[in-house]
Amino acid sequence: MIIDAHQHVWDLTRAPYPWLGPHVPQWNRTFEFDELAPHLVRNGVDATVLVESDDDDGDTELMFEVADAHPTVVAIVAYLPLDQPEHAAERLSRLRRDDRVVGIRNLVHHKADPDWITSAPVDEGLAVLEGGDVAFDFVSTLPRHLEHVPTISERHPGLRIVLDHLAKPPIGADDVEPWWSLIAAAAENPMVSAKISGLYPDSGQWSVDGIRPFVDRALDVFGPERLMYGGDWPISVASGGYDRVFAGLQSALSGLGVEEANHIWSGTARRVYRIEPSRLEAAVSGVGPRIDEASTSAGPS
């Protein structure tokens, strides 16, 4: 089985998406799941996880609608306002009525303050996630972000933390520090896992040789059992598209044994996100559960 643990959809009429605009023409349009689906089939991907693309409830509602229409979507990483802990707690209780909600994310890398994640209100919001036993997807794109992982781990020892995109390693740069050391420090907490996803250079062409040292470093510090595959579509279109990136990651992981590879391609996502087995069965069969048989409502109220 292959679970793609990181996909997006967005509709420019449903949420603001302030990070989009004419400056990123390759992404500045609506992307629907039907556009992705043939790539999943072609590459043997059985199930996928949709991840929030905007800190806005409209984006989360869109993901529920897509998941309702496509059994391939077995899980959702939704948005909650972590800096509003009381509201976050109330909304999480509603979101978790649907067993597809397995994680929460905020676009931390778009916050002006790189220390936002350690502020008092957000710390209370992370406590809400810890108490609710839901994973936290952390978009760490600056060394300062990654520096905070041990602090978060100490404050919230029961919180499952998922580092998106290996916390943005310096692909193509001359110096691998401080990422090289910081990712090892983050991995010291066994509750921290990471996604082999979104590995793009800041400049130059994407290549397997370019990402391989960072994939190998992640394997060294996390082990395969704490790494999961993510296709990062449609961001991946800027690096040649889903098929090219998938093939490249296959090549970068080709030296692993079957058991090790299985962790990355499905096992870690299944375990860390605690994906409901019936959802995976429905994804493989192509038939989703009837609404009256599902464990929860189809989406948040």
Burial of 162 (0-12, 13-18, 19+ CB in 10 A): buried
- pLDDT score of 103 more than 80: yes
For residues 41-53, average pLDDT: 98
Mean pLDDT of 132-142: 97
Give percent of the chain above pLDDT 90: 93
Q: Give residue 263's pLDDT.
A: 99
Q: Could you give all domains of the chain from N- to C-terminal order, each with its CATH number?
A: 3-285 (3.20.20.140)
Where is average pLDDT lowest: 134-138, 159-163, 236-240? 236-240
46 pLDDT tier (thresholds 50, 70, 90): very high
Q: Where are the alpha helices (DSSP H) in the chain?
A: 33-42, 57-69, 85-95, 120-132, 143-147, 149-155, 179-187, 208-222, 242-252, 258-262, 268-272, 277-285
Instruction: Identify the CA nearest to 225 among candidates 268, 280, 186, 195.
Output: 268
Q: What percent of the chain has pLDDT over 70?
A: 95
187-232 pLDDT, tens digit each: 999 999 999 999 999 887 899 999 999 999 999 999 999 999 999 9
Distance set, CA 154 to CA 19, 80, 107, 187, 276 (Å):
32, 22, 22, 13, 29
Q: Smallest Cα–Cα separation from 44: which of 252, 262, 248, 246?
A: 246
Tell me what pLDDT residue 121 has.
98
Position 287 scores a pLDDT of 61
Q: What is the pLDDT of residue 202?
A: 85
Average the pLDDT over 101-111 and give the result.
97
The two tokens of residue 19 are: 């990070």
So what's the pLDDT on residue 286?
77
> Mean pLDDT over all residues of the chain?
94
Are 107 and 55 a contacting pair, CB within 8 Å?
A: yes
Give the predicted TM-score (pTM) of the model: 0.94
The predicted model gives 65-94 an average pLDDT of: 98
- Beta pairing class for 227-229 and 192-196: parallel
Taking residues 267-288, report their average pLDDT: 92
pLDDT digits (tens, 9 = 90+) for 244-258: 999 999 999 999 999
